[in-house]
Amino acid sequence: MLSELTANAVADARAREADRPLAEVEAAALVRPAALDALAALAPGARVKVIAEIKRSSPSRGALAEITDPAALARSYELGGASAISVLTEGRRFGGSLADLEAVRAAVALPVLRKDFIATPYQVFEARAAGADLVLLIVAALDDATLRELYALITQLGMTALVEAHSADELERAAALGAKLIGVNARDLTTFELDRDLFGRLADRFPADAIRVAESAVLSPDDVAHYRRAGADAVLVGEALVTGDPIANLSAFLAV
């Protein structure tokens, strides 16, 4: 499933490139105001930080929420105390788009993450051109050379990479990049199985200077407390926020 999602995302980016060549997207990326400092926004603190996700649907859960105004939802997240906004820009299975990201960027003063299956420099330039401050890199989807190339490009463009792992080996590959923001996704992106204990099993393998993000499977304040006890500095939450009252849920999560 992960390789199919990545191949589709790359094919879709190639189709966009036919209309908007790399040089044009690169130029648009370079004239954007500087990216916001996501590491400062997500720095470890007395309270857990929340990266709140705009998520319409997903391969594992199908349709989740009809989000007609992603900018308004992002403003609710900001009001509710989120530290960053994650925007799923993949269209086929998640119903997202770069237009969502641009709308969110224009609506909030928080760092914005492009959450997609990124495997080419073109997609990274697109992210910056749309106003992203952060870009997701899924270790399992990338060979080492591509992972290094994309990480370097994200950094050169002034953005922050959220490097996602799902095993000890992948966490080691993230650490070898010098990544300062590393996520452990509880969701196996091939089987969709959720393992909330994976973060805790890997927690002491994070580099000492990396911000630790627990991704997926937060449905209640107890789940946030579980990740927090295991050492998470931040949690990335989608489903619980788009299917419930985002402000009430955020405030319950932030009170943990």
Ligand X SMILES: O=C(O)c1ccccc1NCC(=O)[C@H](O)[C@H](O)COP(=O)(O)O
Residues that bind ligand X (CB under 6 A): 5, 53, 55, 58-61, 185, 187, 189, 192, 215-218, 236-240
Report in angstroms how near the CB of residue 88 gets to ligand X at its nearest. 6
57, containing H or E segment = strand 57-58
Report in angstroms how near the CB of residue 156 gets to ligand X at its nearest. 25
Is 216 part of the annotated catalytic residue set? yes
How many helices (H) and strands (E) the chain has is answered by 12, 10
Q: Which of 49, 55, 126, 239 is catalytic?
A: 55
Is 249 part of the annotated catalytic residue set? no
Q: Which of 102, 164, 170, 239 is catalytic?
A: 164
Report in angstroms how near the CB of residue 49 gets to ligand X at its nearest. 15
Residue 65 and residue 95 in contact, taking contact as beta carbons nearer than 8 Å: no
Is 180 part of the annotated catalytic residue set? no
Write b or e for each residue in 129-140: b if 16 or more Cβ atoms lie within 10 A of its Cβ, otherwise e.
Answer: bbbbbbbbbbbb
Q: How far apart are CA 86 and CA 101, in angstroms?
A: 9
Is 164 part of the annotated catalytic residue set? yes
* Closer to ligand X by Cβ: residue 60 or 220: 60
Is 215 part of the annotated catalytic residue set? yes
* Closer to ligand X by Cβ: residue 165 or 236: 236
Residue 57 and residue 93 in contact, taking contact as beta carbons nearer than 8 Å: yes
Amino acid identity, residue 203? Answer: A
- Catalogue the active-site residues: 53, 55, 115, 164, 185, 215-216
